[in-house]
Every structure is written in C-alpha cells, then in structure tokens.
Structure 1
Amino acid sequence: MKKFALVTLASFMFSAFTSQAEVKDDSTKSGKLTISGYADVYYQYNLNNPSFVSPTTSAGYGNPPISQNPGRIFDVKNNQFSLGLVQTKFAYTTDRSEVVLDLAYGPNAALGNFGNLYGTDVNIKQAYMSYMFTDKLNVTVGQFGTHVGYELIDAPLNYNYSLSYLFGNGPFYHTGAKASYAFSDKVGLMAGVVNGWDGMYDFNGTKSAIAQLFVSPTDGFNIYINYIGGDEKNGWSFPTLGNPNAPISGTKNVSHLFDLTTTYQITDAFKLGVNAAYGFGNNLKIDAAESDGYSKASWGGAALYADYRFSEFFGLGLRAEHFEDKDAVRYIGATLGGCTVNEFTLTGDLRFMDGHFNLKPEFRIDVANVNDDFGGTYKGYVKDPGNPDKAKATNVQPTIGMAAIYAF
C-alpha cells in the first residue's frame, strides 16, 4: 500500500506538469467567499420504551442518563427534544480553485467524530483545497467527506432524517489526496490515497486507496461505483475487538469495501435510488479459530429509496433496507451483537421558505435478529426493559418522530 501511495501521488504530479499548456493563469482574478450552514432539532419516541443508560460520547459526560435507541446512528435519543448538528461552511472559490472549511457542532458531530478532535463536540467536518489543472482534471487535498454511500451526514441533503445502516456503518470522511478526471459529462473517474477510515491522522503508517467510477447512461440516471481498501482501521470507527478505545493496526487488518449508488430521476416529482455495499477482510478477534488470532469477516446490504413530491409543499420518501453484520465488525454489530437487520422508514417533507425550512415527520421500524455462538438467532431488542413485570424480547423496534431543519 505504501508503494501504491507513492505511485498515485507521482501520477498526480505528472498529470499536473503535462497539463501546463491547458492551465489558465487565474492568480489575478478575485474570488468569492460564501457562508452557508444549517441546524436541525428532532424529537423521537421509541414504542419499546428502552432503558436509560449513561451517555458514551464526549457530549454526555457529566449529564444524567438518557433513554437511547439501540443500533441507531444519529437519532439515538428517545423521548427527548435533541439538537442534532449545527454546521457552518466557509468556501472561497475562483474560476479554478476552491478552499473549504466546514465545521460542525453538537451531539451528532460528537457521534461522527471518530479520530478527529478528541474530547470535544466540535468536528472539522471538511477542510480541503482543490484546483482545476485543466477543464477535466481536478486535484483535492485535505479532509473531505466520503464518496461511499447514498446518503450524507448533512440533514438537509437527505430525504429521510434518520440515517441508513449502510451509510452509518460505512466511513464518514477521509484525509488525503484525490484526483478526478471528467472524460465527458457522462463518464468520470476519481482515485486517491487517504489515511484510512474516519481518521484525521494515520494510525499505522500505511495508507488506503479510494476510487470512484461515475457513469450516466441517460439524462437523470447516475451510477457510482465506489471503493476503499487498505490496512488502516481505527478502534473508534472499526471496533473489531469490541473496544473503541484502542487503535487496531497490523499487516493482517486489510479490508475492502465496494459500494454501488444509483439515482434515477424518473419525473420531476418521482425519484428512485439504490444503494448496495459489501465489505470484507481479515480482522483481529479474541475468539478467532485460526491459530494466529485472525479470522475472516464481512458485512454489507442493500437499500431502495423512493421519493415522490406531491406538491412544492409536501412530499413522501420511503426507504427499505437490509443490512448484515454477522461478524460484529461494524457499529451495529458491536452494539447489538453479530446481527441481521431490516428497516423500513417513511418520511414526510414539508417545505417552507422555498425549502430553507423543513419539517420531517418520520415513522421507522427496525427488525433485528442477533446470532448466538451456536448458529441460532435471538431477538435483538427488549420491550419495556425497565419494568421486570412487562419486559420481553422482541425483534421489532418502532419509532415515531419529527425533525426540524433550517438551512441557509
């Protein structure tokens, strides 16, 4: 992987030097500074009435225990009015360059803060610079959001408020360098070298490779084939030992993740989307059968999205998803145990102020089965766990809620 990193960086430099004839000098042109951002707040009620637990993020230290939704990504608080995330984004652009500083604050920033700024809710979500060496070649260096997945951390950019298991159990961001080349408006390619998954810094001196192939067969139909792979995990984002406080590194911790994302805008009102992912690799595990202490592990799933806007004011979005983490190497598996989970989410979208202010009522059902050590399964949730007379196992977790999002 080190050799790959050197070869890829060398190719970036070669592309830049060989393209000098096409580069326009824009050093004397003035740029434009834009400031944007958003804030979101949500309330959610879990019909299973889960137990109160001590907060596990930096945001929770010193706070009283709260009721949480097991396995969820950002919408974790039950029966609470909760701040989600506050974002402020500064972007300075010229004809051929861009510098971005994207800051986030709040509980969701802390939950997505793997290996970023420790012990704080402030998250450097993105901080990068990019330059168009030609009309087709763009190079970006710094920290940037992941290319993997259908959804984004930014609540205003997703139709559903709650995040899918596919996105929540994949990477959120990368730090490194990447180059994108647009062969046409129908085909594009990106490749790069990064420190790994969700890490501002490198944990073991190796690097991961990232890549994306973009194809648009027809107007409104976009296909993205994504990849990340390398020997670079950290214990906050990739809890292979069930211990999120210790980095995981070593030459046998190589993993690969392939991701397919498609969107098809069938009409102005109706949009379909598909996301599928499969990851695999060698992972250090305490109970590994292999004599060297390593075992094979895999995870993945698929999701279907269908959004329909009945009017400028009102729309509905449906997500149906299947996700498997039977080896308990991702967040959901570390939370519930090695499991298979399905989820169905119906989200309304009420738009005010030309879409700057949105209300999103949402109903979601998670269905989880957890694998035991003998090849069987058991129900993944407990209903009324705080009441010994009523508590019982269930594989269904239904929630209802409302989110308010203001973007500027």
Structure 2
Amino acid sequence: MKTIISANYIKKMAFLALASISTIAFAQETEEAKTKFEFSGTVDAYYRTNLTAPNGEDAIAPGSSFANLDGFALGMANVIGTYEGEKVGFVADLVFGPRGTDAIFASPMYSATGDIVNQLYVYWNVSEDITLTFGNFNTFLGYEVISPASNFNYSTSYLFSYGPFSHTGLKADFDLGNDWSAMLAVMNPTDLTELNGTGDYAVGAQLGYSGQFLNFLYSQGGFEIDFTGGFDISEDFFLGVNAAHFSQEDNGGSFTGVALYPQLKTSENFTIGLRGEYFMTGDSFGNTAGIGSGSDGDANVLALTLTGSATIGDLILKPEIRLDSSSEDAFIDNDSAPTSSLASVLFAAIYSF
C-alpha cells in the first residue's frame, strides 16, 4: 500500500514539475514576443537668435534645413514603432512638428495625414547575408540624418539639405563578409514618398567597407555620388567626413561640397565638435540654396558650426554657434543692408526614449 501511495505521489510531483516548466516556458515565449515590438523616439526644442542680422519679423537664417525658426521654437516629436521578428519585421516612423514637416515636404500629396510619415517599411531577412526592404525609408546618402538625436550638430549642413531626404521603393542589402557590404535599390524619384506620379524611377547603389560608404543615386536626369565615413583618430577624438557631387543633365545645375566633423570627448558626459563645410553650386542652384548667385550662376559658402553636446541621462543639451560666409551678398546685416555673412547661435534640448 505504501508503495502505491509513493508511486502516485511521485507521479503527481512529476506532473506539477512539468506543468511548471511549461508555464515558465510559455511566459518566456510571451515575454519574448512582447519585446519584439518596441516604441522609441525623440522630442526636441530650441532657442535661436542672429548675432549679425535682424531677429523677430525680419529674421533670416542659413540656407540649410531645420533649426531656422526665430526665438524659442519647436523641433519635432518623433515616435517610432518597430517589430523585429526572426525573419520579418516593420518600422513605422511618425513625426509631428516643424522639423518633421520640413523633412517630408513633398509627401502630403495623397492623404490628409501624409505629412506625418517619416518612414514606413517592411523588411525580410532572406538569409543571414541578404535583407530586402520595401516601402518608405530615409536616404542612404550623406553623413547627417533627420533625427536630431543622431546628429552631432543640431543645425544641418548644406550637403544634407540639398541631397535627398527619403525614398520609397525596394532595396536589397548584402553582407559581403570581411566588413564589406553592398546595397542596390529601385525607387520613386527623389522625395516622392507617397506615390510616384511621374512614371519615372530612380536607382541607387552603395558599397561599404568598415564604416566607410560610397553612395550613388540617379533620379530624373540627376546623378549624385557621395562619400560618407569616419575615423577614430584616438579613443577620445573622432573625425567624420562627407563629400558629394550632384549634376543635372537637363539644365546643368550642380552642387559640390565637403564637410569635416572633428569631435573631441572631454569627459564622460561632454563632447565638443566642429563642422567645417565648403559648399558650391552651379547655374540655378545658387539661388535655390540660399547662398547667392553670381552673374555666371555660380556661388559658394563656407559654414563653420561649433557645437557642444552635454548628456544628462536621456537628455542631450546642445549649445551651438554658427558662421555662414557666402561668395555673394546672400544675407543682410542689422541695418538690413546686403552682406555676405551671417552669425547665429542656438541652444537645443533633445530627449530620447
């Protein structure tokens, strides 16, 4: 009798143990599934004022994108939802505010809510070495990006402002091994992100090696070649590099620029950096870029931006002083007279979550 009771007891304990293991495994799988879907993003605001030009109603700004508003101003709220599966996933990246509206200026063509979609794409990891992405994604060209948390300088360069912002199409990324990578893409014409509307298509390509990228884009008769990279000179000193040339077949418009980004980490929570950029245009691009245009249609600008970056938890504070010097009288001074230079300062706060 004792033997039967002991056997039943052992069976019950074994059943309870198996049930416990199953419950724990199910809970772990559920928790793992939950962690695949994540929310992240940023919120930013800033104060900007001119030193050598009027503020208020007559305020002017450099001819580059973002951070051009006067006084206390809003950047954007950026909310990103991602799902990362073993093979497939998606990104839904929404923006609200002036910076977001500027970033997707060509989007509100079809829907009333089109001006909030920064990125919207799905992807498929075909293998360990190949990933296909389909939808709307930020451009692969250039050193700077739309998100202020991912740039060192808060204001943006001319190179960033006059390259493409986003593309809609299909791209394939390849891991070639030994730090080499490649990308091929077919897309709508530059910045047409909601629909095509033209019947034309753009093609893009990228070749990368150990953090250095050579990019190519052909869209509606315009060809751009771009180099983006950076080097760790020492443990505390980094040098970023961006250089690009664009030319348009039909009207001969073009731009060429180079920007260097030396950054020195002075403590665990503070880094100081300089963006030194030389940007020149040909034909119609001088006036478009807001740097003036001579009688031959050519213009150039030297822009120096000194930025400090202080980190307090998830908050980044960025004081910044910027000097733009053009070959033409593209700006005005405090007496509203034409002048070739503009000095301005700003202070930005960026929170990441």
Same fold (TM over 0.5): yes
**Residue identity in the other structure for 2:40:** S
Shift of the 114–102 alpha-carbon distance from structure 1 to 2, 3 Å rule, reads: same
Distance 1:392 1:334, change over 3 A: closer
Structure 1: distance between partners of 2:315 and 2:283? 41
- Alignment match of 1:130 (pick from 113, 123, 132): 123
2:9 match: none
- The 2-side partners of 1:120 and 1:68 are apart by 30
CA change 1:335–1:393 in 2 (3 A) is closer
The answer for the alignment partner of 2:311 in structure 1 is 351
Determine the C-alpha separation between the residues in 2 that align with 1:174 and 1:330. 25
Partner residue of 2:54? 50
CA distance in 2, matches of 1:198, 1:66: 30
Shift of 1:403: 0.3
Indicate conservation of the 8 Å contact 1:114/1:199, yes or no. Answer: no
Contact 2:104 2:165 in 1 (8 A): no
Give the aligned partner of residue 314 of structure 1.
270
Q: CA, structure 1 residues 97+271, in 2 after alignment: closer, same or farther (shift >3 Å)?
A: same
Select the residue among 255, 265, 273 that pairs with 2:232.
265
The Cα of 1:143 is off from its aligned counterpart by 0.2
TM-score if structure 2 supplies the norm length?
Answer: 0.84
Equivalent residues of 2:53, 2:60 under 8 A apart: no
- For structure 2, the 5+ residue unaligned runs are 1-31
SS in 1 for 2:253: strand
User: What is aligned with 2:27?
Assistant: none
Q: Which protein has the larger Cα radius of gyration, Structure 1 or Structure 2?
A: 2
1:104 aligns with 2:60: no
Superposed counterparts of 1:25-174, under 5 Å: 30=33, 32-50=36-54, 67-78=59-70, 80-118=71-109, 122-174=115-167
Taking structure 1 as the reference length, what is the TM-score of the superposition?
A: 0.73
The whole-number CA distance in structure 1 between the counterparts of 2:291 and 2:88 is 42
- Once the two structures are TM-superposed, the CA of residue 330 in structure 1 deviates from its matched residue by 7.4
Code of the aligned partner of 1:210: G
Amino acid at match of 1:85: M
* Superimposed CA distance per residue, residues 334-374 of structure 1 (whole angstroms, 9 cap, x where no aligned partner): 67445211100110011101xx101000011000123xxxx
The residue type equivalent to 1:266 in the other structure is I
1:241-278 Cα distance to aligned partner (Å, 9 max, x none): xxxxxxxxxxxxx1100000111123332111110000
Residue 108 of structure 1 and its aligned partner are, at CA, apart by: 1.0
State the match for 1:402 in structure 2.
Answer: 347
Alignment partner, residue 281 of structure 1: 248
Amino acid at match of 1:275: N
In structure 1, how many angstroms separate the alpha carbons of the residues matched to 2:201 and 2:310? 43
Identity %: 32
SS in 2 for 1:138: strand
Q: Deviations over 1:84-106 (max 9, x none)?
A: 11100000111222200000010
| Number of aligned positions between the proteins | 314
Unaligned runs of 5+ in 1: 1-28, 53-64, 217-221, 232-253, 284-294, 371-378, 385-389
- C-alpha spacing 1:394/1:123, structure 2 compared with 1 (3 Å): same
Mapped partners of 1:399, 1:383: distance in 2: 12
SS at match of 1:175: strand
For the residues of structure 1 that align with 2:75 and 2:252, how far apart are their CA atoms? 36
More helix by share: 2
